[in-house]
Copies of this chain bind each other. A is one copy, B any other.
């Protein structure tokens, strides 16, 4: 029997324990971008909280074989190859390359769970593939960690956590009371139930969605709220380095 714990932010992740499997979620847009990059043939995605550390490590890499993705406050960081737009990760652009990535919040979610024995990333686009893997490996304890926004609850990540819970309920036959490890899981499930047929409305209500609309990023938003369109499972190979399973 699986217990699923949702944590709204990296800051709320317990410090004194580890789950069997931890999943980072940053729907708008880091984990959506990671799914696209790996499906497009990137060799790996290496995530950094700190931009200076990213530069130091990536400088040691063959410049033909690396792509730097940097985003702060929704915008591309000067001097980086790409901002955090999933659609820019085409096979032509990222195929065979190592991606060095730092985003405002998403990479902090990954950082907070990097010591778990199994670390995945999920977005709406690859939710079904992630849940399929969970059904296969049957972890007793799962954490789903939203990126939040500067320490606060993020609507779209919590809704995606609810989408994972909803599909896991359906596939496992467990009920909500037995699956939910904490109240946050039930809140996430409620959000998904309310918005499952109109995720774009949810994203537009979200504070980060509003920020993206102000940056003319509606096409990215429309891309990110598509459910179960990508058959890709990003999994951590070593701390901070994700590959396609």
Contact = CB atoms under 8 A, between A and B. Distances in A.
Interface of A: 8, 12, 149, 152-155, 158, 176-177, 180, 182-184, 186-187, 190-191, 193-195, 202, 204-207
Contact of A190 (B154, B176, B190): B190
A187 B152 contact: no
Contacts of A176: 205
A154 B186 CA distance: 10
Closest 8 CB pairs of A and B: A155-B183, A190-B194, A190-B191, A153-B184, A190-B190, A153-B183, A183-B207, A186-B205
A113 B4 CA distance: 32
A182 B8 contact: no
Contacts of A153: 8, 182-184, 187
A148 to B, nearest CB: 9
A245 B71 CA distance: 50
A204 B194 CA distance: 20
Contacts of A191: 186-187, 190-191
A152 B193 contact: no
6 contacts: A152-B184, A158-B187, A176-B205, A180-B205, A183-B205, A193-B194
B194 A12 contact: no
Contacts of A183: 149, 152-155, 158, 205-207
Contacts of A182: 152-153, 207
A155 B187 contact: yes
Contacts of A149: 183
